[in-house]
Structure 1
């Protein structure tokens, strides 16, 4: 049964993970599929805001998409540790593609009910809760440990390339062909990743336990390991901070475009794409820079501080041009935080517990995103989107300053890079 090596994590050639056929295929299929998903992620809040004129409905949409992970991620993590992760992904991707087809058919039929659309998003979120732990775990299985940092960063790169291209395509489609075609292309994109997964093979095999314990016992194992690892707990907590405070901006771009910049759907697409473009710039810069030992603590703290500055600039600078520049900064800072924390979690999670540890991360992150999106929606309707964005920026900046004053706490993140292990507590698992 494979376990993390004890040596330090080193980043060799930045694109080393693409040398492995399985990861290269997975990367390509995921890029197409996520482009379609981000096309849908902009289309849904756009049509909801157009039909209702309320940011609260936009918040409900985000909560519906991410909220079900609170209930389903534990099962998804257990399945990822017990079953063939590739086959599990095949079934969940087929199910998510089926929901995307239902969204397209709903809109094409003229049944533009916000309640029905939210219901379909909730169903999508249920399958995504089962899907995400296996997805994140499979990334690690497709490369040897020496290329894990490359794989995690490239996985973030493809996701954010999609986040840059998808919304831009959505803006053009919404302006020229309408929401029905945007929903259609989102549905088609799922077929690409399903076909890709048919040909993907992991480069190493994680042996599944011959005698499985019950659901509660297996989760006690994962919980005990997580509770005994302060670096893992800190990484999950900072993921929640970024998810709750910063992730709502990806939905609030619709409100900025309508009420602040008074732009059309192309401008909306550019504003949302700028968030993805910033992430791409950061990812490419980090990949090309390389380095022998990543400084996780510094990246996380600077990323959270950058998120605060970006939100504050977005709230006060006038004009769409400044809005695009601020969005690029937010996108780069967001990826700095999330790719860093995801790398820490991947490096510290044992293979036998990886699916469950990543399920905890996804469950906590999704819950924080759902809560933050609902709160941001209500606050936007009450005080306006610019004031809401300013308040978010202030809180993030204060959080970054607090972390700068606690170097001994943030240094825990660098244990993943150094290959250090904490002294096991009474409940830790060898």
Structure 2
């Protein structure tokens, strides 16, 4: 894949940017966790980062389909660099209160709402269609390589000099992306009806086109549903991880970075193992299987107090995290025509990313309710640790149930199959979903 020059340049630049993003994530989460000791505040930060995508993401998709996408990416990357410098400034000045970090996270979320649709339609421009799935997989490997190295390195840096340098490195990382994007082929807006002016009427029409495509076509609709379910109920493990470190394991920031890094190692391994999945095993079986297994490993992680076992479980969480998101995104990209791709990706972002904080709020609320029911006698950090564990266990069981349901009632259209095609099998059955006998080649 790296033989494509523009993709190669972009891949290495984005790898550095992903590393910086993980530095910022670790620094922000740790500062908030240490200063508040609250799952609710971590959910607030997550909401500030992601809810703008829910509110503005659709507009971002329309903009991505109406303006020069390369220019849009350079502008949004520059704005995110300025916000990263603001993070650095408030930490150095000693005024990085949870409320200040909440405001900066909100500002960053607004820019991300316009950045993501243009970012996601960039890769299909850099490689031929026949290489798209491998390019998306390689991009996912890059992201998770950064997840493997970045958090562990961030933990070391925080232990030596505090979190401020994490935010400065993130700001610098945006320079490489801006240079790489500026050297990609020009990306004017897709050919349309000749009108570029955006007003309420055209916005409504554009989003109606994208929404009609997604909800009319069973394949894109099912791929989006898989991403939404996993994004909502799996991401609390990342939001609550610093509290597992301080409340459950009673350890420090290096452990937080190490556990996040182990998850990244698992995701990289998952990306490499994707090539070992039999070619006959289709995505409409593979995606729900990955959701089920991801939920099981998150459940196991939530109930252990031993940090060594937690590290093992985080590795497998990373594997199935990669398998779920990569396969769902690849299916959606392949099923979507370029003329609506920016808007479809925006709908995907708005729903999946915008609903991510919902899972954290559900886990936080249910955790405290269940902790009261299970053991009303505990108080202080013991009660908070129990609530954190039970909340994550609750949402992981929702994932397990969702995976089972999706395996029983499958959607072959995810693989582009239609009724009457060989292998089109909607006969309900859990074991039929796991083993895919309709697709297994004859011996």
User: Normalising to structure 2: TM-score of the pair?
Assistant: 0.86
Equivalent position of 1:267 in the other structure = 255
Give 1:276-355 correspondences, 5 Å limit: 276-287=264-275, 289=276, 295-355=282-342
Equivalent position of 1:174 in the other structure = 158
Higher relative contact order (CA 8 A, sep 6+): 1
For residues 351 and 358 of structure 1, the distance between their equivalents in structure 2, rounded to whole angstroms, comes to 11
What's the RMSD between the two structures over aligned residues? 2.0
The worse-fitting range, judged by mean Cα deviation, of 315-324 and 233-242 is: 315-324
Q: CA deviation at 1:68?
A: 0.3
For residues 239 and 290 of structure 1, the distance between their equivalents in structure 2, rounded to whole angstroms, comes to 20
Kindly indicate whether residue 413 of structure 2 is the aligned counterpart of residue 412 of structure 1. yes
Q: Is the 8 A contact 1:25 1:196 kept in 2?
A: yes
Equivalent position of 1:365 in the other structure = 352
Equivalent position of 1:223 in the other structure = 211
Q: Is the 8 A contact 2:270 2:323 kept in 1?
A: yes
For residues 367 and 121 of structure 1, the distance between their equivalents in structure 2, rounded to whole angstroms, comes to 14
Q: CA deviation at 1:380?
A: 4.2
Q: Is the 8 A contact 1:235 1:344 kept in 2?
A: yes
Gapped runs of 5+ residues in structure 1?
A: 1-16, 421-430
Equivalent position of 2:4 in the other structure = 20
Q: Could you give the per-residue CA deviations for residues 267-304 of structure 1, whole angstroms, max 9, x where no partner exists?
A: 111111122111110001124x3765662122212211
Of 112, 121, 129, the match for 1:137: 121
Equivalent position of 1:83 in the other structure = 67
For residues 155 and 205 of structure 1, the distance between their equivalents in structure 2, rounded to whole angstroms, comes to 23
Question: Helix, strand or coil for the counterpart of 2:270?
Answer: helix
Work out which of the two has the higher radius of gyration on C-alpha atoms and give 1 or 2.
2
Equivalent position of 1:256 in the other structure = 244
User: Normalising to structure 1: TM-score of the pair?
Assistant: 0.88
Kindly indicate whether residue 19 of structure 2 is the aligned counterpart of residue 32 of structure 1. no
Gapped runs of 5+ residues in structure 2?
A: 197-201, 372-386, 422-443
Q: Could you give the per-residue CA deviations for residues 162-203 of structure 1, whole angstroms, max 9, x where no partner exists?
A: 11111111111111110111121122111221122222226x
Equivalent position of 2:44 in the other structure = 60
Equivalent position of 1:208 in the other structure = 191
Equivalent position of 1:393 in the other structure = 396
The worse-fitting range, judged by mean Cα deviation, of 133-142 and 391-400 is: 391-400
Q: Is the 8 A contact 1:305 1:401 kept in 2?
A: yes
Q: CA deviation at 1:100?
A: 0.6
Return closer, same or farther for 1:281/1:177 CA change in 2, 3 Å cut-off: same
Of 362, 365, 369, the match for 1:375: 362
Q: Is the 8 A contact 2:67 2:189 kept in 1?
A: no
Q: Could you give the per-residue CA deviations for residues 231-260 of structure 1, whole angstroms, max 9, x where no partner exists?
A: 111111111100110011111110111111
Return closer, same or farther for 1:112/1:207 CA change in 2, 3 Å cut-off: closer
